[in-house]
Structure 1
Amino acid sequence: MEMDTVLISRLITAMTLGFHIIFATIGVGVPLMISIAEFIGVKKNDSHYLLLARRWARGFVITVAVGVVTGTAIGLQLSLVWPNFMQVAGNVISLPLFMEVFAFFFEAIFLGIYLYTWDRFKKPFVHWFLSIPIVIGGGFSAVFITTVNAFMNTPDGFTMKNGTFSAVNPIAAMLNPATPSKVFHVLSSAYLTCAIFLAAVAAFMILKRKVSPLGSAYHKKALKLTLTVTFIFAAINLVAGDTSAKFLAEHQPEKLAAAEWHFETEKSADLILFGWLNENNEPVGEIRIPGALSFLAHGDFNSMVTGLEETPKDERPPLWIHYMFDLMVVIGMLLIAVPLLYFIVSKIKKWNTHNKWMLSLIAISGPLAFLAIEFGWIYAEEGRQPWIIRGYMTVEEAATSSPYIGLMFFLFLGLYIVLGTLCVITLRKMFRDNPAEEELEKHYPTIEKVDE
């Protein structure tokens, strides 16, 4: 039986990116949460927020260590699995890849300094200032690697000569048309996801009801802080999503059309949610919002939206990306509703903000946010198919023909199983064996026993 090297190559990359994106998201979003918590702690002289920053930073280091390995694996699999792509585009994407590594080292250096200088300064704000470079390094790491993905969607900054890219302008390649909207969406979703995930952890701890009054106050403050940040970035992410849709309508209309099962070019196009396609490729059982796709694409309910019929059949993305788009959007809307509901409930004296249903909803929102990240990246990558570099090189042309590709798949799979297992075990042991209450009494023995 002949091996489908293209399919296995795609599976290796899907597995690598799907695993790495979890740690990449944490690497971008958690430093901001650490910095905010410490700033509030220093400003208010509040031990709870200071301990939040301390504990989040400790857990963050473990995820950074795993992220280093998975990031290295991405570079390795690019060379092993997509050699033809690297041969053609290597000189274009080498600058942002180098800059991404530089940004990571910048982040890692200051993270080490930050961790080992707790309680070493007379003025606590000096230590807080050390968190700023970590936030910047994490953010720019995402920016640089996102420009590579943006280039694959809207290639720019080169001329094509004898099948290779020449006269390369790496800055123009990085600042291609897709970069602004993609960077905006990636950063806002990373900050949103990490905020709601930390809120989910706090909600879960309160839900367990095994914490003391001292620990309960700590987790309730964590919940209020993280949900406030969640709501802010959920609103910003909504704007980022709208910006991305308008970019797609102009530069990648086939991706938006496939996501919305919009086959014919027409005005006042409906937005289609869920449903399924019958044998004639007609949506059945769907929810339609009249004119909403036109508004999403161009900011006008009566505007013309390009249909999938305008794209040659062999260049159309798979239609199942519709579900990835829908799930991403629905979860994104949920992440606005959850913190909003929490704050509405908190203003009504008769209602208990920390009731079982509210806490359960927050707790489940954390994993859902990471699923939204996965769905979004699947949509972004599959929506570019059949291209690896849109308009220049297909995935089939870029993939390796090595007979050892099957072995590579199992080696990468084994690596991720080991890394994932070790990460979970380490984090579980780190926090389960060292509850917040004990740390509060250890580091801040004069704290009031109940502080809500």
Structure 2
Amino acid sequence: MDSVFWSRMLTEETLAFHIIWAAIGVGVPIFISLAEFIGIQKKDVHYTMMAKRWTRGFVITVAVGVVTGTCIGVLLSLLWPTFMQLVGNVISLPLFLETFAFFFEAIFLGIYLYTWDRFKNPYWHWLTSIPVIIGSTLSAVFITTVNSFMNTPAGFKLDAAGKVIDIDPIGAMLNPATPSKVGHVVSSSYLISGLLLAGLAAFFILRGRQHIYYKKALKLTMVTTFILSITTILMGDISAKFLAEHQPAKLAAAEWHFETKEGAPLVLFGSLDPKTNEVKYAIEIPKALSILATNNPNGTVIGLDSIPKNLWPPLYIHYLFDTKVSIGFYLLFITAVFLILWMWKKGNPFHPIVLCGVVIAAPLSFIAMELGWVFAEAGRLPWIITGIMKVGEAATTAANVKLMYFLFSGLYLLLAIVACIVLYRLFKGKPAEAELKAFEGGIS
């Protein structure tokens, strides 16, 4: 196995590990701020305690996200030197801005952490959570523009010698892929963070903790994630239309759409014969792919027959796409069920079956996110920069990448173990009920 293989493996592993912590770091501040605001408005200590407890766990995820994010920056230069040599100056602005956004977030996170009960007017403390949200979200926005650039490069020209000229960093950031990718990444980060918090609340209720704190936490997070589920699905629809226009090969491979035609059907599930490209056992929805791609049931969708075979993305991305979309609709379903039962007078949103569904939704949302990123990256193959540079041309030729892979794997394993132990010990023996009792006693 050559250095290209190990470079890909290490990069994929790093991104897969980092995105878990990064997504939590982007989404949880929204729920912290929302809980504190409701607590102030309603003078409800349960919501205030939610904000305090969620903030403790959030700090740990930020720490791990910083380490893994730093690893990504280092690996870009070590593993993909030709890529950085060609476009490093083009994408340097969003990389710098991402770092600036993190420092902005970290400064206000420190202020937020150490100024609880320091203001006579509690709204002043709540206001310090807003910059944390802005900083964390902008970090995701800026780094996603780099990935967007790799899908639809813009903001530069290549001269006759293949060198980059006429660099426009803003144009590179605002490339055609940016709106759909940024929207999808941010909305899904908010969604999985909400489902993580909802899953924890549902889990504790199933374990017998019937304190009103957990039920309020579950209601807050489920209402919000219902809205975010719809938003994320809508952003997925926008992304599909973007693919049809700018990356038809990725869409065709994802849908096993081999023939360019009007009124293209949507292929769900099934299996593919790799020798004949014959699709078996699939569900076909007539004209649905044309509607998805063009908003026209008779619209023309480019098939793989119009693309040279050596530029086809791997066809296994169909399974990733179907699984991701299926999970997305499940998340919408379980949040809708909870809300319907909550609003229905005779309904019981805290029924064990519903709670189990919520608990399952939490890890499923992370799986969907991971599948989405693998789909996004594998679907661009064989390109690292679409139409300009292939993966094999960008990777290092160093012989020690395999060793680096195992060293970094050990680092990520250690980080995961330490983070889990710290989070466990942070809340061990400190249930919300006990903290609330002490908190209310302190007030009286």
Normalising by the residue count of structure 1, what TM-score does the alignment of the two structures yield? 0.96
Q: Which residue of 1 is the match for residue 190 of structure 2? A: 191
Structure 1 partner of 2:42: 44
State the one-letter code of the partner of 2:215: K
The residue that corresponds to 2:158 in the other structure is 160
**1:246 equivalent in structure 2:** 241
Partner of 2:52: 54
**Count of residue correspondences:** 442
Q: Which residue of 2 aligns with 1:22?
A: 20
8 Å Cα contact 1:203/1:363 also seen in 2: yes
**Aligned pair 1:308/2:304, yes or no?**
yes
* 2:288 corresponds to 1:282: no
Question: What residue number does 1:226 align with?
Answer: 221
Match of 1:170 in 2: 169
Contact 1:147 1:183 in 2 (8 A): yes
Question: 1:155–1:176: 8 Å Cα contact kept in structure 2?
Answer: yes
Q: Distance in 2 between matches of 1:347 and 1:93?
A: 48
List runs of 5+ in structure 1 lacking aligned partners.
none
The letter for the 2-side match of 1:234 is S
Query: 1 CA distance for matches of 2:114 and 2:347?
Result: 43
Which structure 1 residue ranges, 4+ long, deviate > 4 Å from structure 2? Answer: none
- Which residue does 2:337 correspond to in 1? 341
* C-alpha contact 1:441 1:447 (8 A) present in aligned 2: no
Q: CA deviation at 1:196?
A: 1.0
- Other-structure match for 1:129: 127
The residue aligned with 1:74 is 72
- Distance across 1 between alignment mates of 2:407 and 2:44: 48
What is the Cα deviation at residue 164 of structure 1? 2.4
**How far has the Cα of 1:356 moved from its partner?**
1.3
**Equivalent position SS for 1:445:** helix
Post-superposition offset of 1:446: 7.5
Which deviates the most, 158-167 or 408-417? 158-167
Partner of 1:379: 375
In the other structure, the counterpart of 2:9 is 11
Task: Kindly provide the amino acid, as one letter, of the partner of residue 116 in structure 1.
Answer: Y
Q: Residues 158 and 165 of structure 1 are in contact (CA less than 8 Å); yes or no, is this contact kept in structure 2?
A: yes
C-alpha distance in structure 2 between counterparts of 1:351 and 1:46, whole Å? 25
8 Å Cα contact 1:294/1:302 also seen in 2: yes
Sequence identity of aligned pairs in percent?
Answer: 57
The answer on whether the counterparts of 1:385 and 1:395 sit within 8 Å (CA) in structure 2 is yes
1:101-138 deviation line (CA, Å, top 9, x unaligned)? 00011001100000000011000100000000000001
Separation of aligned partners in 2, 1:389 and 1:371: 26
Report the CA distance between 1:349 and its aligned residue.
3.9
Structure 2 Cα separation of the partners of residues 292 and 444 of structure 1: 56
Point out the more displaced range, 390-399 or 339-348. Answer: 339-348
Determine helix, strand or coil for the equivalent of 2:441: coil
In structure 1, the residue matched to 2:420 is 424
Instruction: Please give the alpha-carbon distance, in whole angstroms, between the structure 2 residues aligned to 1:432 and 1:352.
Output: 30
Per-residue Cα deviation, 1:288-327 (whole angstroms, up to 9, x for no partner): 1111111110111111111011111111100000011111
d(CA) in 2 for partners of 1:160, 1:399: 20
Counterpart AA for 2:187: S
1:408 paired with 2:407, answer: no
**2:323 alignment partner AA:** L
Q: Which residue identity does 1:259 align to in structure 2? A: A
Q: Does 1:322 align with 2:301?
A: no
Compute the displacement of 1:347 (Å). Answer: 3.4
- Aligned equivalent of 2:266, options 257, 262, 271: 271
Displacement, 1:372? 0.5
Q: Name the counterpart of 2:364.
A: 368
- SS of the residue 1:277 aligns to: strand
Question: Does structure 2 retain, via aligned residues, the 8 Å contact 1:47–1:447?
Answer: no
Query: Aligned equivalents of 2:101 and 2:230: distance in 1?
Result: 27
Correspondence list, 1:177-216, <5 A: 177-209=176-208, 211=209, 213=210, 216=211
Q: For each residue in 1:183-227, what CA deviation from the matched residue of structure 2 results, as whole angstroms up to 9, or x when unmatched?
A: 111111111111111100100010111x2x5xx200000000000
Give 3-state SS (helix, strand or coil) of 2:423's partner: helix
1:350 Cα shift?
Answer: 3.9
In 2, Cα distance between the equivalents of 1:339 and 1:446? 36
Letter in 2 for 1:344: I
Amino acid at match of 1:439: E
For residue 163 of structure 1, report the CA deviation from its aligned partner.
Answer: 2.2
1:447 deviates by: 8.6
1:401 aligns to what SS in structure 2? coil
Q: Identify unmatched segments of 5+ residues in structure 2.
A: none
Indicate conservation of the 8 Å contact 1:34/1:57, yes or no: yes
- Counterpart check, 1:437 vs 2:433: yes
SS at match of 1:156: coil
Q: How far apart are the structure 1 equivalents of 2:312 and 2:294?
A: 22
Q: 1:341 to 1:289 in 2, by over 3 A?
A: same
Specify the SS of the correspondent of 2:158: strand
Letter paired with 2:283: I
Cα shift readout 1:8-36 (whole Å, capped 9, x = no counterpart): 11000000000000011011100001011
> Alpha carbon RMSD of aligned pairs, Å?
1.2
Match of residue 250 from structure 2: 255
Separation in 1, partners of 2:341, 2:31:
24
Aligned AA for 1:30? V
TM-score by length of 2: 0.98
AA at the equivalent of 2:26: V
Aligned equivalent of 1:399, options 395, 400, 414: 395
Q: Distance in 1 between matches of 2:368 and 2:351?
A: 26
Residues 421-446 of structure 1 deviation map (CA, whole Å, 9 limit, x = unaligned): 11111111111221111110122227
